[in-house]
Amino acid sequence: MVRRVCTLALILIPACTARPSLRDDPDVLARGRALAMAAVTAHGGLDRWRSLGGVAAHIHANGPYYAAEGDYLFDPARNRAVARFTDKHHHAIEWRYDAKHGTIIEDGRCVGSPKERAKVGGLLSNLLFWLGVPFKLVDQGATQRGVDANRYFVTYANVGDTPKDWYVVTLAPDRRVHDAIYVASGFTTLMEFRSVWEEWTDIGGWLVGTRRRVEPKNGFWRALAPRIAYQLSDVRIGQPLDDAAFAPPAGCS
């Protein structure tokens, strides 16, 4: 049985966490792993994911932090990304992430404080993670527990910068990921969010939801929150990858 833990929010709005309380027994772990691997298979399999090469896409972002229109190049195998867009002041902006550090380039010149560059690295890392669902949910250090016939719960131990993150993933009848309720501890542990994938496209054997909506799980906050969505278009795999495209330019520190 899954126990749901409810608390009283500070503003006296009742809130019920989606985080299940599950035992660490072998059956629960085996069911969780089986569901997670069924999702991986439905999305094309680990071999297909690991052999995508460079993934190019245009992303229309309706929400904070990201440019409304941007062109991206992702290297899923090595967790690297580049974004290029024009800001509201008509400057040509490039964000880079080399799996360790973020870089901001404006009109060909390195800019930004260390804090701003770290934020950019985090934003690109975040996109890489969501692009990689459900594959990222079976990474080394992830533990999957079965909740019921269509849901599994993922936690991480001593992995990455946000080990307090957790996810409750719901699968559709064909085992693709329908949605995930989660806590992004790098942002806050006080609010749970829900991502919903839509507009599924098979790209060379890789099944990807080209539209992802993000909303608070709680209905009260969802009614107040802006409508956040990320729409991918012109998605291409097998793009060439150059190490220099992700690394900071010479003299940029």
| Residue 48 CB contacts under 8 Å (≥ 6 apart), including other chains | 204, 205, 206
Copy the structure tokens of residue 230: 């990320």
- Could you tell me which residues are beta bridge partners of residue 71? 58, 84
Closest CA to 134 of 168, 101, 163, 103: 168
Q: Residue 13 has what pLDDT? A: 43
Q: How confident is the model at residue 250, as a pLDDT?
A: 87
Q: Where are the alpha helices (DSSP H) in 96-228?
A: 114-131, 219-224
| Residue 2 pLDDT | 42
Q: What is the pLDDT of residue 159?
A: 73
Cis peptide before 76 (omega within 30 of 0): no
Note the pLDDT of residue 191: 84
Q: What is the pLDDT of residue 3?
A: 40
Q: What is the pLDDT of residue 196?
A: 97
| Residue that the structure tokens 């990807």 belong to | 208
Q: In tens digits, what is the pLDDT along the chain, a chain of 253 residues?
A: 444 444 334 343 445 888 888 888 999 999 999 999 999 999 999 999 999 999 999 999 998 899 999 999 999 999 999 999 999 999 999 999 999 999 999 999 999 999 999 999 999 999 999 999 999 999 999 999 999 999 999 998 777 666 788 999 999 999 999 999 998 766 666 789 999 999 999 999 999 999 999 998 887 677 777 789 999 999 999 999 999 999 999 888 6
Q: What is the pLDDT at residue 15?
A: 56
Q: Where are the domains of the chain?
A: 24-246
**Res 7: pLDDT:** 39
24-246 CATH choice from 3.30.450.20, 3.30.590.10, 2.50.20.10, 3.40.640.10 = 2.50.20.10
